[in-house]
Structures are given as C-alpha cells and as structure tokens.
Amino acid sequence: MAARRSPATATAESGPEDRSRAGKQRRREVPRSSHATWSPAPDRDPVALLQQQGTQREQDLLPIRHQRMLVSPFTYYRGAALPMAADLATTPTTHLTAQLCGDAHLSNFGMFGTPERHLYFDVNDFDETLPGPFEWDVKRLGASLEVAGRDRGFSARQRREAIAGAVRAYRTAMATFATMSSIDVWYSHLDVDRLVPRFLKALDRNKTPAVWKAIETARAHDSMHAFARLAELTDGEPRIISDPPLIVPLAELADGTAHEQLLQMVRDMAFSYRQTLQWDKRHLLEQYRLVDVARKVVGVGSVGTRAWIVLLLDRHSGAPLFLQVKEAQASVLEPYLRKSAFRNHGHRVVAGQRLMQAASDVFLGWQRSNEAGNTRDNYVRQLRDWKGSAEVGNMTPAGMKLYAEMCGWTLARAHARSGDRVAIAAYLGAGDVFDRAIVEFSRAYADQNEDDYAAMQRAVEDGRLVR
C-alpha cells in the first residue's frame, strides 16, 4: 500500500526551480530503474479479486464477461484492471500525482469528434479515473503493448520498440509541456488532420493499415451509423432492435408493475441528468424526444455493469441521436489510493474525463438512479460521435509502434493538465533510464498476465468463475 504515503514535496505554488528539484529528489528516493521490477505478493489471488468484483455486477451477464476475457491474454488484460491496480500498489511509487485514466491500455485510446467537428486522438475511457502516481498509467500502457504484441506474434525486438517509443513519447512530451504556460498546455491536442502527420514520418498506409483505417472510418461512426445498426421501424416508429442478451429493449426486460418502475426510473434519470448539463446544452437536448431505451452489453471489463442506450429523435428533422447511460462504480484504484472526492461516481468519471481530454462530448453528464431500492451512479455520453480506434488484432509492428507513440504523447498531455508537469519531467530526465525500466516491467508483467490468464481458465473449468 505504498501509494497511500504522501511525502512532502514542492507545492503547485512553488516556483519551477523548486518543483524541478523536488522531481529530481524523487529520483534518489525512488530510482527510475526501480520501475523495472515486478515481484508478485505471496498471497496474490487475481481470481479472488475478479470474484469479488463480480458480486457487484449483473449476475446474468457475468458469463459474457468471462467469455470475452478468455478470448486471449490481451482480452483478459483488458478486463483485469482490478488485479493490476492491486499489483501496482506493491510497486515502487513516485507519489508524483496526476489524474489517472486508471485503465490506460492500448485499446482505451482512439479518435473522437469534438464539438467543433474536428477529429482528435485522445484517451477515451474514464471508468476508473482517479488521482494517483503518474507511472501507474504508463505501466498499464506499456504492459498492454507487450501483451498485445505477443498476441500478434511480434518479435521481442518489435515489442520493445513499441513500448520504448510510447514511453519516450511520454517523456519528451512531458519535458515540452514543462516549459509551456498552463493555458498552452490546456489547449494542446492531437488533431488527426494537423498533428498526426508528425508521427507518420516515413511510414505509409501499407505499413500501418489498422491505424489508417481507424482514422478513415471514425467520421462514419455517428448516430446515423448507430441508427442503421441498432434500430428498425415498427409501426412507423423507430425502435431499438432486440438481440438478447447483448441488446434487450426496455419492453422485454419486465412487464406489469416492474415495467412501470423501469419507465419511471428512465424518466427520473433523464430529468436528473439534464441538471448536470450547461444551460445551452440543456436547451439543445430539449430539441429531442425520447423514443426507446434498451440495455446493452459493452466492452470487456465493463460487462456486468448496467449500460443503457437511449434513442432520441430531433423534433424538427427526425434525425436520430443515441445516448449511452453507463453505470459508474467505485474506481478499481480506490482501495489502493484515496477515495474519490466526488459523492457520485458518475460525477467522478465526468470530472476526470473533462480534466484529461482535450475536448469533451457536449452531452457528457451524470446522474443517480434508483431501481427497486438499488441506487446506481451513472454517466451519460453520446453512443457514437466520430468514435473509432485501431483494431489491435489487425495491427502491424509499424502500426503498433506508431499508435504507441501517439498514446504516449496523449497520456503525457492528459497528465500535464492535472499533475505537476515540471516535477514529473525532472524526475523522468533527458535520458532513457525510465524508458528501459518500463520496457523491462512490461515484459515481466506480460509473463504474469499469461499466468493469470491460465489461472482464469482453470477457475472457469472448476467452477470458481461462472461460464
């Protein structure tokens, strides 16, 4: 539980020189090379943690979660944020704090549309966001590259180059942000049309097809695209399709009194959610009418938490708009760091997203629902808004290296907005000591991940985890 300690360091009010000295002092107390180490605790039991987490999920959806995690070591890694949070808490910790994504693996970065209709590359998942040691996110990203590279059959050298590229991009970007004004850091972003070419250099579309495909198709992923896939006309009115257990319309979840209770819950959700939007966004939302609601299974690690999709139609044009209402539970980091400052975990997710992202969804908000006496925190966002990410299963070595560098730069920008960028940059330094340490940690943790994946397979076979 080393991360709970908070040694005295220079404050945000200190001058740059004091903050830089504080960062360099942390090197002496927590050497950069120490981040290479990984040694599992004697009582470590990742399956028990997954079982514990499962008690807070929808029980009928747990088999889907386990099936998705068991597809490969990488899908297991995606769903195992809690075991890794427990592991990170036992590693050397800098106590240089930033707002963490909390689940900064490769697939949680991608493209999305800004309110100004630009296409940005950014972090795109914040369910586990919480302030914590900056290196936890870096280690989660580095290990994901090693695990994904192994899944793709990349050589050890190709995997090292991808991880080193990500960490180098993080380190050099942080050094740049340390010299910038706060407002310039805040406005920094990775515009796909303007800034991504600097990462491409000599690479071409033939070498990075998955990355190029993600860029080219992201703009097609909007509400009209979602409407074509998720809705159909029934008696002249659009309705969300039924595809149980992955998509279950509200009308099929319950009938009689239970159905009326669900309808009332949705009405209450809509009312309380509107109150968290800025006034102009509330006005925009009021231009739409609610048409249908369904429960939808999403992601890998999120499976089992409640997630709804809400279909609305523009009162003027009839154009569709899909919103996603997603349950927000306590961050997996919370047992190992401080509790969230927000009483509502939906508010925690929204605040973390707004702090880390260069631009956020205009419909991003939160609320608290009550269903049959069960209180749930939720956050709300558009289901699709020019969203897209590269498919890891189709990445080439060059494509993964490119994507890794983009992720590293983006993560540094997100941390620089919330953390002490001067102290972090001073800690990292100009050399590659930290880079090499994360490469070594990633290799060791990927070995651990393979053991954990095998342990989960055995747990499903012997009944500890439901099929």
Q: What DSSP string describes 6-35?
A: ------TTS-HHHHHHHHHHHHHHS-GGGG
Residue 334: name the closest of 185, 59, 129, 182 by CA: 129
Beta strand pairing call for 190-191 and 231-234: unpaired
| Same-domain check for residues 78 and 212 | yes
Q: Please report, rounded to a whole number, the percentage of residues in the chain having pLDDT higher than 70.
A: 89
Element containing residue 52 per DSSP (H, E): helix 46-54
- Segment 171-197 shows an average pLDDT of 89
| Same-domain check for residues 289 and 335 | yes
Query: Is 8 within a domain?
Result: no
Q: Does residue 195 carry a pLDDT above 70?
A: no
| Same-domain check for residues 266 and 177 | no
- Segment 372-378 shows an average pLDDT of 83
Q: Binning pLDDT at 50, 70 and 90, where does residue 285 land?
A: very high
Give this prediction's pTM.
0.91
The residue among 382, 404, 419 that closes a domain is 382
- 313 and 328 in contact (C-beta within 8 Å)? no
Q: Is the peptide bond before 245 cis (omega within 30 degrees of 0)?
A: yes
- The per-residue pLDDT for range 298-309, each reduced to its tens digit, is 878 888 788 899
Q: Does residue 202 carry a pLDDT above 50?
A: no
Which two structure tokens, joined as six digits, stand for 381? 């966002």
If one counts the domains in the chain, the total is: 2
- Segment 365-378 shows an average pLDDT of 85
Residue 303 or residue 29, greater confidence: 29
| Residue 210: Cβ within 10 Å count | 19
Listed range (245-254, 272-281, 404-413) with the worst mean pLDDT: 245-254
Query: Is 152 within a domain?
Result: yes
| Same-domain check for residues 30 and 138 | yes
- 66 and 460 in contact (C-beta within 8 Å)? yes
Q: Does residue 461 carry a pLDDT above 90?
A: yes
What gap in Å lies between CA 14 and CA 222, rounded to an integer? 45
Query: Is 109 within a domain?
Result: yes
Residue span of the structural domain in which 269 resides: 223-382
What gap in Å lies between CA 263 and CA 336, rounded to an integer? 38
Which two structure tokens, joined as six digits, stand for 172? 């050099």
The residue among 326, 347, 382 that closes a domain is 382
| Same-domain check for residues 313 and 403 | no
Task: Kindly give, in sequence order, each residue whose CB lies less than 8 Å from that of residue 60, ignoring residues fewer than 6 positions away.
Answer: 245
| Same-domain check for residues 209 and 243 | no
- The per-residue pLDDT for range 150-162, each reduced to its tens digit, is 999 999 999 999 9
Task: Kindly give, in sequence order, each residue whose CB lies less than 8 Å from that of residue 345, ignoring residues fewer than 6 positions away.
Answer: 328, 329, 330, 331, 377
Q: Does residue 370 carry a pLDDT above 60?
A: yes
- Segment 77-83 shows an average pLDDT of 97
Query: Is 1 within a domain?
Result: no
Residue 191: name the closest of 459, 461, 410, 396 by CA: 410
Q: Does residue 2 carry a pLDDT above 60?
A: no
Which conformational region is residue 360 in: left (phi greater than 0), alpha (psi within -120 to 50 degrees), or beta? beta
How far, in whole angstroms, is CA 231 from its chain's centroid?
27
What gap in Å lies between CA 286 and CA 281, rounded to an integer? 9
SS3 content of the chain, % helix, strand, coil (to 5): 50, 15, 35
Task: Kindly give, in sequence order, each residue whose CB lies less than 8 Å from that of residue 259, ignoring residues fewer than 6 positions away.
Answer: 250, 251, 253
Q: What amino acid occupies position 440?
A: E
Q: Binning pLDDT at 50, 70 and 90, where does residue 447 land?
A: very high
Query: Is 467 within a domain?
Result: no
How much is the pLDDT for 281?
A: 93
| Same-domain check for residues 192 and 138 | yes
Residues, the chain: 467
What gap in Å lies between CA 28 and CA 458, rounded to an integer? 43
Q: Where are the alpha helices (DSSP H) in 297-358?
A: 345-356
- 132 and 373 in contact (C-beta within 8 Å)? no
Query: Is 4 within a domain?
Result: no
